């Protein structure tokens, strides 16, 4: 695979060298969303230290003989400590291996890539950052939900539903976000959905505001639950959905009947104007 890829590439790309670590994003799921540089690093790495959310189809691009090391961290399940993962990257690089640290989405978007890079700097290990398509953008696109639309929003807020201790981050200014951000995209928010929705409603968000849960985004197992802010927790529980999921709040969710391109491939008829009813009501 790697020889074919090298022949097909129309440009020169850097190579993963012995003793170096690349911190790369694998995108939200679909292996077709890997960047060229991430795919090339998979074909060159001696050791690939990967997260739980990396699609197995992406790992099949690894070169013959590459060692795959699982370092996934899933909420509520036994997992390696972050410091141990970072030090393992140092150990592998110091042994002369070409090391790929592969993360779901983007390594710098709630992916702890910054923490790992700082450890590499601490121990003098050369590294490269290979950005990936974050699930908060690519995953929503696979659900037919844009993070921005001119008739809806000119700003978007990305936030995480829990901090390193597993609770809702106390440094989030819910009142400011509720008042100032027309669209909110949340990672790792399902565990505390009741508290989060209560915070936002207390901050002035409408209980009937559109919400969508996009589970297993950009994979064959993708599912989407559309609900409202006031019913989000109850509907999530009733539907029995489980992480991983991206949660989006805002009127961009209302574009899904028009932009659900995956649904259209299965026969769904898309609406040409999702806001036609609003225009009729204000005419």
pLDDT at 170: 81
Given a cut of 50, the residues of the chain with pLDDT beneath it are 1-4, 6-7
By three-state DSSP, how is residue 3 classified?
helix
pLDDT at 72: 82
51, 103, 106, 190: the catalytic one is 51
The pTM score is: 0.91
188, 190, 193, 236: the catalytic one is 188
CB-based burial, 139-150: b 16+ in 10 Å, e otherwise: bbbbbbbbbebe
Q: Which of 211, 246, 250 shows the shortest CA–CA distance to 230?
A: 211
Q: Which of 172, 175, 176 shows the shortest CA–CA distance to 187?
A: 172
5, 73, 191, 235: the catalytic one is 73
**What are the pLDDT digits (tens) for 243-283?**
999 999 999 999 999 999 999 999 999 999 888 767 656 55
73 is catalytic: yes
3 is catalytic: no
pLDDT at 4: 46
pLDDT at 20: 98
């Amino acid at each position: 695979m790697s020889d074919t890829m090298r022949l097909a590439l129309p440009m020169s790309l850097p190579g993963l060298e012995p003793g170096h670590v690349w911190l790369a994003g694998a995108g939200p799921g679909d292996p077709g969303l890997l960047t060229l540089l991430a795919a090339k690093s998979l074909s060159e790495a001696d050791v690939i230290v990967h997260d739980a959310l990396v699609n197995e189809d992406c790992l099949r691009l690894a070169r013959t003989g590459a060692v795959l090391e699982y370092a996934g961290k899933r909420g509520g399940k036994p997992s390696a400590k972050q410091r141990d993962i970072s030090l393992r990257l140092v150990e592998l690089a110091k042994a002369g291996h070409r090391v790929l640290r592969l993360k779901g989405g983007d390594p710098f978007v709630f992916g702890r890539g910054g923490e790992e890079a700082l450890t590499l700097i601490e121990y003098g290990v050369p590294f490269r950052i290979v950005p990936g398509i974050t699930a908060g953008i690519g995953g929503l696109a696979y659900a037919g939900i844009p993070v921005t639309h001119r008739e809806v929003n000119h700003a978007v807020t990305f936030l995480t539903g829990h901090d390193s201790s597993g609770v809702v981050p106390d440094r989030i200014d819910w009142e400011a976000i509720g008042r100032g951000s027309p669209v909110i995209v949340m990672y790792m928010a399902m565990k505390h959905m009741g508290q989060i929705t209560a915070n936002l409603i207390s901050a002035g968000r409408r209980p009937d505001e559109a919400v969508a849960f996009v589970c297993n985004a950009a994979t064959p197992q993708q599912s989407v639950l559309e609900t409202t802010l006031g019913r989000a927790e109850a509907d999530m529980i009733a539907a029995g959905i489980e992480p991983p999921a991206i949660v989006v709040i805002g009127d961009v969710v209302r574009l899904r009947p028009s932009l659900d391109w995956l649904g259209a491939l299965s026969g769904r008829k898309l609406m040409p104007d999702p806001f036609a009813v609003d225009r009729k009501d204000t005419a």
